[in-house]
Amino acid sequence: MAKKKNTDSKELFAEFPNLYKVSSDDDIDTCMEFAEDYKAFLNVSKTEREFVITSVEAAESIGFVDIDTKENLEAGDKVYTSIRGKGLALAVIGKKPAINGFNILGAHIDSPRLDLKPNPIYEDEETCYFKTHYYGGIKKYQWTTIPLAIHGVVFTKDGKKHEIVVGEKEDDPIFYITDLLPHLGGDQMKRNASEFISGEDLNVIIGGRPISKEDTKNAYKANILKFLNDNYGIKEKDFVSGEIEIVSAMKARDVGFDRAFIAAYGHDDKVCAYPALMALFDQEKPNKTCVVLLTDKEEIGSYANSGAQSVLYENFMMEIFAKQSGEAFNLLSYRKCIANSKMLSADVSNAYDPKYASVSDARNSAYMSHGIKLEKYVGSRGKSGTNEANGDFVAEITRIFEENSVLWQTGELGKVDAGGGGTISAYMAKHGMEVIDCGVPVWSMHAPYEVISKMDLYCTYLAYKCFIENI
């Protein structure tokens, strides 16, 4: 018979404490400082294109170079490739041979928003509007009566790229979607919340002055077209090639007297992309090659050549494999390298919200400020569509987190059959690597202004760093 161990019964229980409760004042100060850098980065990286530009600048400043400029890769080399300007793949080459596999962090840098339709400008009753088509899962009514900014690019026939950002500077105008006054909203308020603002009603006010005092047709639209042509050199037809996104004009700001939380546009998923990037930037000569994949189009299914399902991300890893191993490329060897690879699918998830407790199982929820959330599976209705992480991999992750004092918690997105969601993990797991979802818990996820905890942000950075250094 096995010898009975003297275990304190308290040790048998799973505990996931609030990090503000169990951290030293110095550690909390470090979290607060990290949050300041994150807010500054986020404020200039609201769209996927901007996030790529900011990240490449930051990467180049510490020695990263385009992978095309390298014939061979050696330990300590830092490389990146832009995925059509809307996604980014970066790596720091490790000391071990590539066949041992890569340590990968994958996050997405697109966020829910309103995109312009290809023929967006119209005039109605002396007001000029942009017509939009929403991108990702949104509650449409949340986008009315808030300050909006326009971010994007338009390509003219000569191939020139025109960048437009309006609504971010203090003295910039903002853009706006009206709602009905409550005095006349009786009928509207009786409708379902999903119906009281329709997709076709998400029209953004962009002007209200005529081009001249004369009674000319389309005078208000003409005035806007003239403004756009004078300032950006574009004509109405050029919007067909445009990628213009309407996002919240609000800056990232602390929430609460004690500044425990941050509200911002686009935490999903830049609040995981940023710490992933910072964890990679800490690497000089890691044991295994460390890779960060920042993908586009996650909010609409990871399609397109910039989404996680695109082979362009795989091409990057293939190129690293080939250039690091220095031998003639062998597909089977590459596939074995990927099968030996391990990945954290770095994405946000729901944080338990006591106001909306009915959608969550309180025993299987992540809580604000309790650390990075490990999610063994996502999906919906009987785990449909999920990548489920293998138990031995989950045990390996929790072991290295605990050995390195990284506090983690676990949970599902919500109650069984209450809904569900997906991430990029399934698309990566299909190549054979071990993958688990883990990231920062969020309140008001997918709203134009979402909330996260500063402790969870920093804890997530520590977890990603711990993973790529120790797995």
Residues that bind Mn ion (CB under 5 A): 268-269, 347
Tokens of 207: 């002007």
DSSP state of 95: S
Q: Which residues, 6 or more positions from 115, have their beta carbon under 8 angstroms from its beta carbon?
A: 132, 133, 134, 135, 243, 244, 245, 246
- Closer to Mn ion at the Cβ: 48 or 268? 268
User: What is the C-alpha to C-alpha distance for residues 80 and 320, in angstroms, rounded to an integer?
Assistant: 10
Closest distance of CB 345 from Mn ion, Å: 10
Q: How far is the CB of 439 from Mn ion (least distance, A)?
A: 8
Nearest distance, CB of residue 302 and Mn ion, angstroms: 10
Q: What residue number has its CB nearest to Mn ion? A: 269
Least distance between Mn ion and beta carbon 308 (Å): 11
Q: How far is the CB of 247 from Mn ion (least distance, A)?
A: 14
Q: How far is the CB of 348 from Mn ion (least distance, A)?
A: 5
Using alpha carbons, list the distances in angstroms from residue 88 to 9, 68, 436: 48, 14, 20
Nearer to Mn ion, 123 or 296 (CB): 296
User: What whole-number distance in Å separates Cα of residue 419 and Cα of residue 264?
Assistant: 24
**Number of Cα atoms under 13 Å in the Cβ half of residue 158:** 5
| CB of 124 vs Mn ion, minimal distance in Å | 33
Nearest residue to 297 (alpha-carbon basis) of 424, 450, 147 = 424
**For residues 238 and 268, which CB has a smaller minimum distance to Mn ion in the complex?**
268
Token pair in block for residue 5? 């161990």
Q: CA dist 154 to 78, 163, 229, 375, 426, Å? A: 32, 7, 12, 39, 33
Packed helices 454-470 and 267-281: angle between N→C axes, nearest 10 degrees: 40
Side-chain-side CA neighbours of residue 85 (13 Å): 6
The nearer residue to Mn ion, 238 or 299, going by C-beta atoms, is 299
**Of 302 and 324, CB closest to Mn ion:** 302
Cβ 456 vs Cβ 406: under 8 Å:
no
Q: Which residue, 78 or 267, is less far from Mn ion as judged by CB?
A: 267
- Would you say 304 or 318 has its CB closer to Mn ion? 304
Minimum distance between the CB of residue 108 and Mn ion, rounded to whole angstroms? 6
Alpha carbon distance 235, 237 (integer Å): 6
Q: Considering beta carbons, is residue 210 or 439 the nearer one to Mn ion?
A: 439
What is the pairing mode between strands 261-264 and 408-410? unpaired
Q: From residue 37, give the alpha-carbon distance in Å to each of 2, 57, 59, 121, 456.
A: 53, 15, 15, 37, 15
Shorter beta-carbon distance to Mn ion: residue 73 or 452: 452
User: Cβ neighbours of residue 287 under 8 Å, at least 6 residues apart?
Assistant: 94, 95, 96, 469
At closest approach, how far in Å is the CB of 359 from Mn ion? 16
